[in-house]
Chains A and B, each alone.
Chain A
């Protein structure tokens, strides 16, 4: 009996992260950065070439092999997403409101940097896509939200004047059909190397290498929320990144079966 494959919908994705703190094994992940300046030193950031699910985290990469596709894969769409924290970077570990926020960082990374980046996608040596990151939408990600004004009680110190501002969004409508289309699917054989490259333009790197950060989100601790006063604050590092994804169908052996050539099977015809 010949082997039998079935098609399953599947995604392949990989992520570059920029964050001042790396946790555990993250510190050894290739192509991740702790500063914007470090990120800007590379003109090209490569995906599907060095990270795996094991070396990073399933949230960021689901490659089993660092540079090969483990299964026959028919790719129907391609997307790139620039993500940024919803809260601006705070430059201090206390909230010395006002004036200690870098409000432009998330906005610029999420909405402006894609204007200054190109992307290509290659299967072996064939260039399948060359495009601007603006017009290669991921089809998923955050969308709009609500609005609010910070607490305006000015009786106690600065704590109630914290300049909260949340920014949400992405490039393109986050709807699953809004991705770079490949109507004639790219058929990638098993064990084939693929790669995607994000090219940051000279202007993009010129801006990034001057930036502080990424820094942290700083907020009141529980006691301060109850009784505003200067004291300790909570500080969590903000995380920026770029995620490249392929959507399609992978061909795998029928679940619960084993039809590989030469397999010993009971009850076979």
Chain B
């Protein structure tokens, strides 16, 4: 009997992180950055050819760094920009003393809503370019959706009416993603696949000048006391489709 494959719905994703926390890792993760200014020095940011799930299932579910371990029919693609939803960012280290503190609140919205409009994307299967477009046209269509009401703590001490950013590009519903042709794109097993994004000089100029990402302030024990932790900005590329695998519970190899 020949082998028998079945198609399973599968999401395939890879993530680039920008955070001062990256600089604290004893084993650096390829293509991750500790600051916006470091990110600005990169010409192109690539996905699906340098990391695998060893970096954490939250960020990546590739078994192999640069090859598909199964045949995949790619149906949709997205490039999602995610900033911290707890959006009030302080300098590092946080000046956790009583008194008026400075902070920046808009960087999450800038990252999620403005940067994608000034970034290009190229999707390749092996050396074939299958899609070249603007990142704003490839919204994630997943992620936070919500709302904060009320002005919060206006004391200028701890709390500081912290900002909330729960939005992003597009509608966070999986049916609103960029679709390839009706049949999808058939990608053979062990083929290479990559997505490459490039920022405009305008974005890179901003990032080269920016400090941070900054820190988010939380209450810590024993309370009331406060701690600042580095925030995380991410770009996550996701391909959804159907993978071909052996029928479950069977062995037809």
Q: Which residues of A contact B (CB under 8 A)?
A: 37, 88-89, 91-92, 97-105, 107-108, 110-112, 114-120, 123, 126, 128, 130-135, 137, 142-150, 161, 163-175, 177-184, 199-204, 206-207, 210-213, 215
Contacts and interface: CB of A to CB of B under 8 A. Distances in A.
A118 B224 CA distance: 32
28 contacts: A37-B221, A91-B224, A99-B155, A99-B224, A104-B86, A104-B217, A111-B144, A115-B232, A117-B58, A118-B58, A118-B59, A119-B57, A130-B53, A131-B13, A132-B15, A145-B149, A147-B149, A149-B150, A165-B153, A169-B166, A171-B143, A171-B145, A172-B145, A178-B172, A199-B57, A210-B227, A211-B221, A212-B220
Q: Is the interface of A mostly helix, strand, loop or mixed?
A: mixed
B74 to A, nearest CB: 15
Which range contains the number of B residues in contact with the other chain? 35 or more
A207 B229 contact: yes
B174 interface: yes
Interface string B71-99: 00000000010101110100000000000
B232 A116 contact: yes
Contacts of B15: 132
Nearest to B87: A107
B162 interface: yes
Pick the most buried of B148, B172, B223: most chain A CB atoms within 10 A of its CB.
Answer: B148
Given A118-B61, A212-B219, A107 B56 contact: no
B85 to A, nearest CB: 3
B59 A134 contact: no
Contact of A108 (B21, B149, B218, B234): B218
Interface in B1-25: 6-9, 11, 13, 15, 19, 21
